């Protein structure tokens, strides 16, 4: 296994964003919603050595707050610390850009994501009730229906 120093996030030019569309669908089941935000914000490819492992898309939420709108890793690259390394790199990048907070939301049914963000230092800040009811088809994970969005934040500067 390669060292995590070989994990890099590289900005994706606007004209190349659609190439990463399949990765975004790994983390968001709605084709329609992904198409709505695909060309918004800053997209970064996640490279592991010479391979594309995934993608992360960041949206400016307010003047000093940035949101992780979508972060997805190919199955082959999950569970080996790449996601945590990417979060460390991306939060430092946005700290250097002057952001005060990074926020992210995940489904109440995404048990792995709920643990992942907390282990990475994010704190729960709220729940957006019925967020996933607007999706065209119900989403189930681990036998739990995704209904609510659980919101997290990481404070970058006080």
User: Which phi and psi angles does 16 have, rounded to 5°?
Assistant: -105, 0
Over the stretch 121-130, which tens digit does the pLDDT of each residue have?
A: 999 999 999 9
Asked if 69 contacts 55 with a C-beta cutoff of 8 angstroms, the reply is no
Over the stretch 107-147, which tens digit does the pLDDT of each residue have?
A: 999 999 999 999 999 999 999 999 999 888 899 999 999 99
Asked if 21 contacts 9 with a C-beta cutoff of 8 angstroms, the reply is no
Domain interval for residue 74: 4-155
- d(CA 76, CA 103) in angstroms, rounded, equals 26
pLDDT tens series, the chain, 158 aa: 445 669 999 999 999 999 999 999 999 988 888 999 999 999 999 999 999 999 999 999 888 999 999 999 999 999 999 999 999 999 999 999 999 999 999 999 999 999 999 999 999 999 999 999 988 889 999 999 999 999 999 999 87
- d(CA 94, CA 42) in angstroms, rounded, equals 11
pLDDT the model gives residue 91: 97
What's the CATH number where 68 sits? 3.40.630.30
Provide the domain count of the chain. 1
- Tell me the pTM: 0.92
94's enclosing H/E stretch is helix 82-96
pLDDT the model gives residue 158: 75
User: Which letter does DSSP use for residue 74 in this model?
Assistant: -
């Amino acid at each position: 296994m390669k060292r995590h120093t070989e994990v890099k996030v590289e900005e994706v030019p606007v004209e190349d964003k659609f190439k990463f569309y399949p990765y975004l669908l790994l983390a968001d089941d709605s084709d329609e919603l992904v198409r709505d935000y695909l060309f918004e914000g800053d997209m970064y490819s996640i490279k592991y050595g010479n391979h594309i492992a995934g993608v992360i898309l960041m949206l400016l939420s307010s003047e000093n707050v940035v949101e992780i709108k979508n972060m997805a890793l190919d199955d082959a690259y999950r569970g080996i610390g790449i996601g945590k390394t990417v979060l460390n790199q991306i939060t430092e990048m946005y700290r250097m850009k002057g952001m005060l907070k990074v926020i992210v939301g995940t489904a109440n049914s995404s048990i792995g994501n709920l643990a992942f963000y907390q282990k990475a230092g994010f704190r729960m800040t709220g729940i957006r009730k019925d967020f996933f009811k607007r999706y065209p088809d119900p989403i189930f994970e681990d036998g739990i229906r995704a209904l609510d969005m659980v919101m997290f934040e990481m404070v970058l500067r006080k």
